[in-house]
């Protein structure tokens, strides 16, 4: 497979939303019909924070790397951290190393932008994602409850 990685464009919005919606109901997925919204996608695209992994122009995986952190009270806030959020891989590409490729790229981008830490929230039930993040040396920080969901807050020092 020939993969490319690029920032999402407004023209990608519907395809990205369809990818998000296709993952609803998978074990560990906390998304629903109301989230992520088109506004979330548009904001992430306009801020150049939404990254796509493509296979022959088909978006097969996405992730958002943002400086906007909605868990500020849970962490020691400073300017050298970012949040990895809304990571998803199309079902037919799961288990084929796509999330690893995307995460390698995101870590490189975060370093290039001068961040020293990446934080993320992972659903306690999302065992596959937790194993991936462990391979990338994300460390458990603490358990938190947010949006009525039990999460593990993980952090990676860059």
- Taking the domains of the chain in order of start, what are their residue ranges? 3-157
29-33, 51-55, 142-146, range with greatest mean pLDDT: 51-55
**Residue 106: which of 29, 7, 17 has the closest Cα?**
7
Kindly state the average pLDDT of the residues 100-117: 95
Architecture of domain 3-157: 3-Layer(aba) Sandwich (3.40)
* The pairing of beta strand 139-146 with beta strand 149-157: antiparallel
Q: How far apart are CA 16 and CA 100, in angstroms?
A: 19
Residue 67: pLDDT band (50, 70, 90) is confident
* pLDDT for 158: 94
* The pairing of beta strand 139-146 with beta strand 81-89: unpaired
Residue 37: pLDDT band (50, 70, 90) is very high
Kindly state the average pLDDT of the residues 114-136: 94
* pLDDT for 95: 93
Q: Which of 9-23, 46-60, 95-109, 138-152 comes out lowest in average pLDDT?
A: 138-152
Cβ atoms < 10 Å from Cβ of 78: 8
Task: Specify the DSSP element, H or E, that contains 41.
Answer: helix 38-46
Which pair of structure tokens corresponds to residue 60? 């097969």
* pLDDT for 149: 86
* pLDDT for 78: 62
């Amino acid at each position: 497979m020939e993969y490319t990685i690029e920032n999402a464009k407004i023209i990608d919005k519907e395809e990205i939303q369809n990818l998000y919606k296709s993952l609803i109901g998978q074990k560990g997925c906390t998304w629903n019909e109301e989230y992520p919204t088109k506004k979330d996608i548009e904001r992430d695209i306009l801020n150049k924070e939404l990254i796509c992994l493509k296979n022959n122009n088909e978006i097969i995986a996405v992730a958002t790397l943002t400086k906007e952190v909605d868990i500020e009270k849970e962490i020691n806030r400073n300017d050298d951290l970012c949040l990895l959020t809304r990571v998803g891989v199309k079902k037919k590409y799961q288990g084929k190393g796509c999330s690893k490729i995307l995460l390698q790229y995101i870590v490189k981008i975060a370093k290039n932008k001068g961040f020293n830490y990446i934080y993320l929230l992972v659903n306690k039930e999302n065992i596959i994602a937790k194993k991936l993040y462990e391979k990338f040396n994300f460390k458990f920080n603490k358990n938190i409850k947010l949006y009525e969901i039990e999460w593990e807050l993980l952090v990676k020092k860059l």
